[in-house]
């Protein structure tokens, strides 16, 4: 009774409901989240400002260098890339620059553009070589092995093989040529690549009219001239290596037809028909190459001479017994 009298007239403890406590707790959490978000925004603004200043003030391109030999001058290459000194190194579009150089300088095969910190662009180039020329609208379209147009000439190129059996739809210097028959164009690219890898020289023409009767013509170091029958597109590199080795040892000054269409994975049979006997339908003897190692320029086969003796060589020639 005394306790009640003493507390009379004084405010009692405030009663807070559960809902009020939850609302206060939510307000406090919201304030903390807003503070964290504020600091994050401030941090991002500082980072973006620093990056912007560094891109605008730092890493400016001071030099553009060209590595590799080509027919184009350094000035021609650097001007065609679209990148200039003073630009920012980080934002420079190096891939687009390589594509622009290839279009502007078609005789460049491989082009790479790289950034070099702190302030340099390096352009590496490699010269492209013409693998064939296709007649189009009374002109000659010079192509590399990938089908890129290197040049369009009014006159026939002296040292570039003419390609037969291809029909060009459109051609623009620096771009890929458009063919009517893509399968034949693939055959040309395979032969061109095999000629390059095998080291064949003196090729005058490539004929892809018949995919099962591919052939090419070539001159030899000894002043001869041969038509080489390749057959289909299998083992092209091996066939051309065989041709090169045989020309060097036996056919350097010969005129005629050399048939290597049967050269295969293991045993191979080849025929050489001299031009003098073609009109009388007399062929030379069959030659068999027993082992031609992949990637090797040396071959082994037995050859039979006119008097019936045997010798170890790269090709077999018979005498005049009409085999």
Q: pLDDT by residue for the chain (323 residues), tens digit each?
A: 445 555 555 555 666 677 777 777 777 887 888 888 888 989 899 888 877 776 666 788 999 999 999 999 999 999 999 999 989 888 899 999 999 999 899 999 899 999 998 889 999 999 998 999 999 999 999 999 888 999 999 998 888 999 999 999 999 998 999 998 888 999 999 999 999 999 999 999 999 999 999 999 999 988 899 999 999 999 999 999 999 999 989 898 899 999 999 998 777 788 999 987 544 443 333 343 333 333 333 333 433 333 332 333 443 333 333 33
Q: Please report the pLDDT score of residue 246 as a whole number.
A: 92
Residues 295 and 192 in one domain: yes
Q: Please report the pLDDT score of residue 14 as a whole number.
A: 63
Residues 275 and 202 in one domain: yes
Residues 185 and 305 in one domain: yes
Residues 301 and 204 in one domain: yes
Q: Please report the pLDDT score of residue 56 as a whole number.
A: 66
For 144-240, strand residue ranges (E) read 149-153, 162-164, 168-170, 178-179, 203-207, 214-219, 225-231
Residue 165 lies in a domain: no
- Domain span at residue 279? 181-313
Number of domains making up the chain: 2
Residues 115 and 233 in one domain: no
Residue 44 lies in a domain: no
Residues 122 and 185 in one domain: no
pTM over 0.85: no
Residues 112 and 202 in one domain: no
Q: Please report the pLDDT score of residue 272 as a whole number.
A: 92
CATH of the domain at 120: 3.10.20.310
Residue 106 lies in a domain: yes
Q: Please report the pLDDT score of residue 114 as a whole number.
A: 94
DSSP secondary structure of 56-109 = HHSSB--EEEEES--SS-HHHHHHHS---TTSBTTT--HHHHHHHHHHH-TTEE
Q: Please report the pLDDT score of residue 10 as a whole number.
A: 56
């Amino acid at each position: 009774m005394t306790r009640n009298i003493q507390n009379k007239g004084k405010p009692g403890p405030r009663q807070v409901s559960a809902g009020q406590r939850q609302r206060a707790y939510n307000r406090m959490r919201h304030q903390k989240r807003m503070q964290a978000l504020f600091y994050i925004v401030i941090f991002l603004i500082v980072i973006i400002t620093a990056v912007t200043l560094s891109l605008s003030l730092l890493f400016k391109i001071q030099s553009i260098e060209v590595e590799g030999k080509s027919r184009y001058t350094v000035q021609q290459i650097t001007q065609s890339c679209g990148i200039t000194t003073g630009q920012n190194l980080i934002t420079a579009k190096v891939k687009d620059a390589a594509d622009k150089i290839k279009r502007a300088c078609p005789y460049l095969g491989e082009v790479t553009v790289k950034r070099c910190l702190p302030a340099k662009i390096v352009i590496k180039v490699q010269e492209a070589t013409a693998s064939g020329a296709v007649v189009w609208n009374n002109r000659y379209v010079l192509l590399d092995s990938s089908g890129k147009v290197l040049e369009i000439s009014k006159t026939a190129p002296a040292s570039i093989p003419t390609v037969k059996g291809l029909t060009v739809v459109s051609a623009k210097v620096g771009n890929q040529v458009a063919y009517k028959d893509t399968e034949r164009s693939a055959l040309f690219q395979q032969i061109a690549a095999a000629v390059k890898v095998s080291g064949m020289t003196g090729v005058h023409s490539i004929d892809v009219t018949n995919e099962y009767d591919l052939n090419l013509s070539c001159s030899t170091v000894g002043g001869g001239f041969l038509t080489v029958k390749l057959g289909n597109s299998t083992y092209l590199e091996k066939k051309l290596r065989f041709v090169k080795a045989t020309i060097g040892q036996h056919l350097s000054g010969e005129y005629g037809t050399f048939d290597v269409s049967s050269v295969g994975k293991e045993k191979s049979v080849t025929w050489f028909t001299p031009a003098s006997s073609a009109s009388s339908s007399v062929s030379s003897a069959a030659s068999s190459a027993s082992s031609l190692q992949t990637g090797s320029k040396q071959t082994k086969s037995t050859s039979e001479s006119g008097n019936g003796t045997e010798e170890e060589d790269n090709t077999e020639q018979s005498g005049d017994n009409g085999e």
